Amino acid sequence: MILGDLLGTPVLDADGGRLGRVADVRFVLDGAPHQLMAEPRLLGLVVGPHSAASFMGYERNGLTRPYMIARILRWRHRGSFLVLWEDVAMVGARSVRLRPGFTRYSTALEDGAEA
């Protein structure tokens, strides 16, 4: 499938309750090794409850400058969380459904501060 189709798709919990939209898709470079780089394996989906897309990733890294922009963008992306691939029950054309009892993880990147 084409990843752009997944971005912005509404995310629902197992009962059909709306959680937000797919703001980004996280990959980890630990798939099958190729000659140059390993294959990126899908780790999970970044879900944003208030916005359809993430802009500049301030909620995922530790950057605080320029101060006003960082404050505004962090506020806009407040409540974002990451769900792992294991917790995704179905990817549809119009929505993504999660498994019952899924875990919300922090969206912070490894080198970034807590979001």
Partner 1 sequence: MTSAPLPRVPHAAGRILDAQLHLMDRQVLDHDGVPVTTVDDLEVSGPALDVEIARGTPPPVITALLTGSVLGTRIFGGRPPSSRLIRIPWKDVAEVGVVVRLGVKGEPLDASWVERWVRDKIIARIPGGRHDPR
1-8 LR contacts (CB < 8 Å, sep 24+) = 1/91, 5/93, 6/45, 6/91, 6/96, 7/53, 8/52, 8/53
Residues ≥6 apart with Cβ < 8 Å to 65: none
> Is residue 44 a contact point for partner 1 (CB under 8 A)?
yes
Shortest Å, Cβ 106 to partner 1: 4
**Judged by CB under 8 A, which stretch of 12-20, 38-46, 62-70 contacts partner 1?**
38-46
Q: Tokens at residue 90, please?
A: 């179905």
**Judged by CB under 8 A, which stretch of 12-20, 26-34, 65-73 contacts partner 1?**
26-34
Selected from 43, 63, 69, 70, the binder of partner 1 by CB under 8 A is 43
H/E stretch holding 20: strand 18-33
Peptide bond into 49 cis (omega under 30): no
Selected from 14, 18, 72, 78, the binder of partner 1 by CB under 8 A is 78
Selected from 14, 52, 72, 89, the binder of partner 1 by CB under 8 A is 89
* C-alpha triplet 20, 26, 27: angle, nearest 5°: 155
Residues that bind partner 1 (CB under 8 A): 1-5, 7, 23-32, 34-44, 46, 53-54, 57, 60, 78-79, 81-82, 84-86, 88-93, 103-110, 114-115
